[in-house]
Structure 1
């Protein structure tokens, strides 16, 4: 779809996989310097994961609000067009925004039978598992974004009965366009409701998978720097 090498100077796979893995190895070799440099970034990332969890909770409450609205509409004999689709979009947003926050709280399923054998084996098996997970999540994130770009390119629209105001689509589209185009975009924007562009509900998938990939690389580096995992379950046993 697009060759990123002229823009990035290197193939995209080098930026996504080789450079993060090389940086993780460098942090493992120089843990003191890495800890000193990365500690402010870790604080910032922890807040980002937390706010992603808050956003996931917001969309979960949105699902409840939509269910209540559907009930009221049914009792009032009023048609609520697109309510099922809106609830589906909110459910997807809840799932994907919660991925990184859930990881940091130790709520993902992790098989730890081999991690309990001894400290040395636990460290390097955990690091290997985190590396594989980070590569997989990065691959997923790359193709989630590719799906967004393709949907926008072919102007793919929903097949349901859900609509969104045209100004909302323009407002969000501003984030992916140069400020020099903003005036023209708003000049061409009407006040009508349009079928939902598919890239709009797909955005949480892209953002959530990117955050998950960042969190996995982040916690892999923390593991290599501090020689202990920073993923601790909050479950009460």
Structure 2
């Protein structure tokens, strides 16, 4: 299961990287076309869609690699056991918040699909297509946080903590 989850997180990170390349391609294409005196509808929107997809798809991998910004001032002042319980509490809060974000992102995609929402630009892209990247990224992020919570309970410490905590009272 660990290899499967890590593979999914890494695959989403690679997909985020491809979307970052997409941003570059769309912006450069837009610049070149404008210099030629012509227009291609939707390039700016596609660059924006790619930016959103890249940001959300990278969340899970970044979290699993412990590269999210953390304020450790309070954690560093605590004893290992208190640090562990505070870390578990913050993971529970993160699960609730990321779960809500994932739920409403999926709902947004489903609503956009059922209402046949189109972008307001000249390209008239069905909005559920670019919203998929956000929804997938939010779901993977929530899974990564749940994964970390379960791992922290099993091991007695998180990857962000230096040493295991004895769970005996």
Q: Tell whether the structures are fold-level matches, with TM greater than 0.5.
A: yes
Matches within 5 A, 1:140-219: 140-162=101-123, 195-219=124-148
Q: Would you say how many aligned residue pairs link Structure 1 and Structure 2?
A: 160
In structure 1, how many angstroms separate the alpha carbons of the residues matched to 2:55 and 2:97? 18
> What is aligned with 1:83?
43
Give the deviation of 1:114 after TM superposition: 2.3
In structure 2, how many angstroms separate the alpha carbons of the residues matched to 1:219 and 1:80? 44
1:28-72 superposed Cα distances (whole Å, 9 cap, x missing partner)? xxxxxxxxxxxxx12211111111111111100110111111121
Give the deviation of 1:78 after TM superposition: 2.1
Preserved CA contact (<8 Å) 1:105 1:231: no
TM superposition score normalised by structure 2: 0.90
Is 2:60 aligned against 1:60? Answer: no
In structure 2, how many angstroms separate the alpha carbons of the residues matched to 1:231 and 1:149? 36
Change (3 A) 1:231 1:203: farther
Runs of 4+ in structure 1 off by over 6 angstroms are none
> What is aligned with 2:158?
229
Pick one of 90, 114, 132 that aligns with 2:93: 132
Task: Give the CA RMSD over aligned residues.
Answer: 1.3
1:106-140 superposed Cα distances (whole Å, 9 cap, x missing partner)? 22222212222211011111011001101110111
Preserved CA contact (<8 Å) 1:98 1:208: yes
In structure 2, how many angstroms separate the alpha carbons of the residues matched to 1:99 and 1:213? 9
Preserved CA contact (<8 Å) 1:52 1:101: yes
Give the deviation of 1:83 after TM superposition: 0.8
> What is aligned with 1:114?
74
Preserved CA contact (<8 Å) 2:66 2:159: no
> What is aligned with 1:23?
none
**SS of the residue aligned with 2:2?**
helix
In structure 2, how many angstroms separate the alpha carbons of the residues matched to 1:135 and 1:231? 20
1:162-188 superposed Cα distances (whole Å, 9 cap, x missing partner)? 2xxxxxxxxxxxxxxxxxxxxxxxxxx
Preserved CA contact (<8 Å) 1:50 1:101: yes
TM superposition score normalised by structure 1: 0.65
In structure 1, how many angstroms separate the alpha carbons of the residues matched to 2:150 and 2:20? 31
In structure 2, how many angstroms separate the alpha carbons of the residues matched to 1:96 and 1:231? 22
Give the deviation of 1:230 after TM superposition: 2.2
Is 2:2 aligned against 1:73? Answer: no
